[in-house]
Amino acid sequence: MKRISLFLVFLILLNSCTSEFKPVTFETISIEESFDAEISATYSKAKGNSDLSKTINTNVENAIIKTLSTPENKNNLTDVLKAFNTEYLSFRNEFSEGSEPVWELHIETELTYQSEEVITIAISNYEFKGGAHGNDQIQFLNLDAKTGKILSLDDIITDKESFTTLAEKYFIKSLDNKKENLKMEDFFFGESFHLPENIGFSEDGLVLLYNVYEVASYDSGYTEFVIPFTETELYLKVH
């Protein structure tokens, strides 16, 4: 009887070890292709061939593609880069003036947060097709750390109305900490405060980021601020 009991304890311990969640690990890879335009792509990729890694990598690649303006619908990042290069070559052949600058497309990601519940990856891209300046933006991709599925704001925040009130408080606080003497009236183009489309996790707390043109002029650049986890715990479904 004693031997059976010890054997059962061993099985329980063995099962708990084998079923313990193992977080995915990431590596940084670059697409090595020769292009006529100035193109670069360096991004985070989950290691291994597990279903979790495959789901994460598919969602990361699709999210990168969605941030780009391409002439064709593509579901492969390398094909998107080639399409951009082809578009540039067509433009250069049609407008052969030597003064036209070379087009640019640069993509980069950063793993900003990883826990047993959430993975946040910041996707940054810069596109230049001539003109006064290029277009750049940052997007936060929040993923379920156990399934790799994309988390919406509703999957993250419990009470959006109360959270918006908290966010406005920290937005105003962030303006007070800047030297430009900015006020709420300088943002949102006459509208009331609203949450950004991009909210992601970092080691310091929740990052709220407005891309260029979203709430202010181009010269203002990105508008972002952080709410510490100590202030957001009541509103978070995941952490």
Calpha distance 147→82 (Å, rounded): 31
Cα–Cα distances in Å, from 41 out to 26, 121, 222? 16, 15, 21
CB 119 within 8 Å of CB 113: yes
Q: Comparing C-alpha atoms, which of 106, 101, 98 is closest to residue 31?
A: 106
| Amino acid 94: pLDDT | 86
Task: Give the DSSP H or E segment for 124.
Answer: strand 118-128
| Amino acid 17: pLDDT | 46
Structure tokens at 26: 């990431």
| Amino acid 137: pLDDT | 94
The CA dihedral of 51, 52, 54, 58, to the nearest 10 degrees, is: 130
Helices (H), the chain: 2-18, 51-66, 77-94, 153-156, 160-176, 229-232
| Amino acid 213: pLDDT | 87
pLDDT in tens, the chain (239 residues): 444 455 444 444 545 444 466 789 999 999 988 999 999 999 999 999 999 999 999 999 999 999 987 756 778 899 999 999 999 999 988 887 656 789 999 999 999 999 999 999 999 999 999 887 889 999 999 999 999 999 999 999 999 999 999 999 999 999 887 767 788 888 899 899 999 999 999 999 999 999 988 888 877 888 999 999 999 999 999 98
| Amino acid 21: pLDDT | 66
Calpha distance 107→74 (Å, rounded): 16
**How many angstroms separate the most distant Cα atoms in the chain?**
90
